[in-house]
Amino acid sequence: MASTKRRVAVKASARMYGGQPPVRAFERACIRLETGRTLGIVGESGCGKSTLARLLVGLEAPTSGTIAIAGVMLGSRRSPPPLELARLVQLVFQDPYSSLNPRLSVEQALTEVLKVHRLVGRGGCRGRALELLEMVALPERFAARYPHELFGGQAQRAAFARAVAVQSKVIGLDEPASALAVSVRAEIMYLVVGLQAVLGLSYVFVSQDLAMVMHISDQIVVMYLGRVVEQGPCLPVLDQSLPPYTRALASAVPVADTAMTGGLQDSAASSRSTASASVLAPGCPYQPRCSLAEEICSNEHPALQYLRPEHAAACQVAARQAGVTPEP
Ligand SMILES: Nc1ncnc2c1ncn2[C@@H]1O[C@H](COP(=O)(O)OP(=O)(O)OP(=O)(O)O)[C@@H](O)[C@H]1O
Ligand SMILES: [Mg+2]
């Protein structure tokens, strides 16, 4: 945790087509993750969180811009070979079954990764596979089981063991617990946090669960329609946030301490979004839903600017409230 080396830096844009006008799935963002820390990515459905996670592991190529992981550049024109990229960063998906080969037992899946990445010598695979299972608290008897024989939480543990097996220091977690039964979500997150401390992992944690993000993240990025609207250390952003969008998201978190979100009336974050990332009107993208919108908000797109040290937001109203001259 002591290292301040910047491990992941993303400055990229990704546009999706699918036969329709391009969707600005992730645009003009510049984010950083430090070694051993957790960067939480939050925002409504469709705001581009998974696109960011997929950009990190090379499942999407950025339309423009660069991504640097531990000094290795990925981008639209250059990228390391798939095996090298896999050793830099792994992604754990929401649906654990999608990342496990249905024809391989848990042990075979782990052995495959260990062999492909040449991480163990001859005869060492079983021992290492069992060690990995122990790390994710799966008893030895699960080694012989196939994905369809596992419950969701067990399958996610196996998927996590597979990600950890590669020994990459950066792991993207795309809503790793949200598809699981409520009763096992906390167990999985407890495991994830515990292994970070033991292995010194850096996480990019994508989630719509703000309470969970608050709990485990050091830094947070709030996204809206493919853009970063706020970023900074987790607590100041969620506790003393100025932009109405983040405040609306935070107000939807069920917390016992009402002081944190008390008085927030904007329920726009919980209402169904009709905004589109493919057809953006001029001005602030959130302006049609914002209860505090002013004239400037419908004319000029807000730039992401620092309102306090390390705390940036893209909101003209928030900038003015913070005594900063709003930049279009
Ligand atoms: N392959 C694709 N082709 C076309 N559009 C896409 C594609 N993948 C994603 N999109 C669009 O890009 C935008 C961002 O999608 P993304 O999956 O990153 O959002 P998300 O924040 O992860 O949403 P959720 O919380 O529902 O998982 C959405 O408008 C989505 O419809
Ligand atoms: Mg997603």
Q: In terms of pLDDT, which residue wins out, 143 or 54?
A: 143
Please work out whether the CB of residue 263 comes within 6 Å of at least one atom of ligand 1. Answer: no
Q: How many CB atoms lie within 10 A of CB 319?
A: 22
Ligand 2 centroid to residue 146 C-alpha, Å: 26
Q: Band of the pLDDT at 113, cuts 50, 70, 90?
A: very high
Confidence of residue 276 (pLDDT cuts 50, 70, 90): low
Q: Ligand 1, residue 47: give the atom nearest the CA.
A: 21
The region, left, alpha or beta by phi > 0 then psi within -120 to 50, assigned to residue 189 is alpha
Query: pTM for the full model?
Result: 0.85
Amino acid at 244: P
Q: State the pairing for strand pair 6-16/23-34.
A: antiparallel
In the chain, the domains with their CATH numbers are 6-219 (3.40.50.300), 281-328 (no CATH)
* pLDDT digit string, tens, across residues 214-246: 889 999 999 998 888 999 998 877 777 678 888
Assess whether the C-beta atom of 47 lies below 6 angstroms from ligand 1. Answer: yes
pLDDT of residue 150: 97
19 lines ligand 1 (CB under 6 A): no
Phi, psi (deg, nearest 5) at residue 16: -105, 145
Token match 């620092």: residue?
Answer: 306
- Percent of the chain predicted with pLDDT > 70: 83
Q: Look at 300 and 133; give whichever has higher pLDDT.
A: 133
For residues 247 and 3, what is the distance between their CA atoms, to the nearest angstrom? 31
How many A from CA of 206 to the centre of ligand 2? Answer: 8
Over residues 47-55, mean pLDDT:
89
DSSP state of 182: H
What does 22-90 look like in DSSP terms, one character per residue? PEEEEEEEEEEEETT-EEEEE-STTSSHHHHHHHHTTSS--SEEEEEETTEEEESS----HHHHHHHEE
Q: Does the pLDDT at position 265 exceed 60?
A: no
> Bigger pLDDT: 239 or 87?
87
Helix and strand tally (H, E) in the chain? 11, 12
pLDDT, tens digit, for every residue of 280-310? Answer: 667 898 888 898 888 889 988 888 899 888 8
Q: Is the CB of 221 under 6 A from ligand 1?
A: no
Confidence bin at 275 (pLDDT 50/70/90) = low
**Is residue 75 predicted with pLDDT exceeding 70?**
no
Mean model confidence pLDDT for the chain: 83
Mean pLDDT in residue range 176-188: 91
pLDDT of residue 279: 59
CA of residue 54 to ligand 1 center, whole Å: 10
